[in-house]
Amino acid sequence: MRLVQQSSLRHQQVQKMMLSQSMQQSVMMLQQDNLSLLTFLKEKSMENPLFEVRSNIERYYETRLMKENYQIKDDSESLFDALLTQVSLINCDEHTRSVVRYLIQQLDSNGYLECDEQELMATLAITKVQFDDGLKLLQSLEPIGIGARSLQESLLIQLADKQDNQTAKRILIKCYSELINKEWEKIQKKLKLSQQNVLQGLRLIQQLTPYPAQQYQQVSTPYIVPELIVKRDGQALSVHLNQAGKIRLIFDNESYEQIVKDNHQEVNEYLYLKQREYQELEASLKRRGATIELVGRSIVERQHAFFTQQSTVLKPLLLKDLANKLELSESTISRAIRGKYVQTEFGIFELSRFFAKKSYAANQVNANLSVDQVLMLIRTLIEEEDSSKPLSDERLVQLLAERQLVLARRTVAKYRKQLGIPNAHGRKLLKLDGGAI
């Protein structure tokens, strides 16, 4: 009885492990661009004699190269490759190594970790302790600051490698908002430091980089092959997957059936595993295409005016808006748009370009303006102001209200700072010194 229970338990564990690996593979395939996906699937087919990969992506690139500008292939080592090389050389257990590999796949182009911790632990079927171990190992890799979940965390990781870092560390931990807003006097008072000590800390922070993966940013997708194509018929739009970039997996039924007839148990078990691998890859490939097409159609529907060239200004659109509408997670939406492009009659655009934050308008008339629209309006008002009498934030509030846009003064101040524009007093001093905003 005990042996039967142990066998059943092992079977459940194997099933759970295979399911977890299948989920990881599906997630990884969704976030890859089509050229990276093609490379991945070709590598898989080399390990699996039951299927081959067919695609005309290369031919698509070659036929369009003379007509359009594409990125040139870069043979430099990518961030992904550099991190994987480091992980392979570190002395740790294989499970932790696999967690780190998965975390590496979630990094954005700047080296930050984009993932929901709870969702990731569920996907990998790991505990909080195992997640923390993997994260700690990732953050120990080069370049320093990699794997951080925020700018503040990245700077603190980088700072740990610097000498005489205590003042800078206190500024980052206790006065981060003041640091971002360049409120030097507040930092000095809050930490009870001399002006010289604050300056020393700031100089050390200025030596850090906000983009840990900056040195790898020249390495990108070798060629841009759009995943989606938008076609226009008057004001009607249709969205389709780019068939020229389609990837197909071809299963070798004849060889499979012939080998199975030999009825060798070990061979049949091997073939079953390889057939299962093919089926999971095929299912993941179909889910990927369906998800990208679904997300693309929703984006085009929301930004209809842009795609019909009636406007160059985007409507507000957040990941959570699309996630709620499509009943998908935000992380799924994020992966579906990451590195994916859409082809239109007037150019090729990355899907992430069509997301824009909502403004904090208090009135219903302009509650649906995007932050970009409001920022543009504030910048225009300041550019047109009388340089001898710069507009205060209160006056900007009044002028925006006259344009049917009701914002709180603190919101206007926040947007002004986001534009990198000093307050009225600061602008007046700049004008007196002959500086430019």
Each residue's pLDDT, cut to its tens digit, for the chain (437 residues) gives 443 444 444 444 444 444 466 777 888 888 888 888 888 898 888 888 888 998 877 666 555 544 444 443 444 457 777 888 888 777 788 888 888 888 888 888 788 887 778 888 887 888 999 999 999 999 999 888 999 988 899 999 999 888 888 999 999 999 988 888 878 888 889 999 888 888 888 888 888 888 888 777 554 445 678 899 999 888 899 999 988 778 999 988 887 777 777 667 777 788 888 888 899 999 999 999 999 999 999 999 998 988 988 877 678 888 888 999 999 888 889 889 988 899 988 888 889 888 876 665 544 445 566 677 777 788 888 888 887 788 888 888 888 887 777 788 888 888 888 777 888 877 766 555 444 44
- 399-407 long-range contacts (CB < 8 A, ≥24 apart) are 400/374, 403/377, 404/363, 404/365, 404/366, 405/359, 405/361, 405/363, 405/365, 405/366, 405/369, 405/374, 405/377, 406/361, 406/362, 406/363, 406/366, 407/359, 407/360, 407/361, 407/362, 407/374
Measure the CA–CA gap between 419 and 379, rounded to whole angstroms: 8
Cα distances (Å, whole numbers) of residue 193 to 71, 171, 206: 50, 10, 18
The per-residue pLDDT for 283 is 92
The per-residue pLDDT for 297 is 95
To which residue do tokens 């994916």 refer? 340
CATH class of 371-432: mainly alpha
CB-count exposure of residue 49 (10 Å: 0-12, 13-18, 19+)? middle
Instruction: Kindly give, in sequence order, each residue whose CB lies less than 8 Å from that of residue 146, ignoring residues fewer than 6 positions away.
Output: 79, 83, 107, 111, 138, 139, 154, 212, 213
Please give the single-letter amino acid code of residue 33: D
Looking at residue 352, the DSSP 8-state letter turns out to be G
The per-residue pLDDT for 21 is 66
The per-residue pLDDT for 77 is 59
Cα distances (Å, whole numbers) of residue 172 to 156, 159, 169, 180, 259: 7, 10, 5, 10, 64
Measure the CA–CA gap between 83 and 101, rounded to whole angstroms: 8
For the chain, give every domain's residue range: 32-74+223-356, 76-219, 371-432
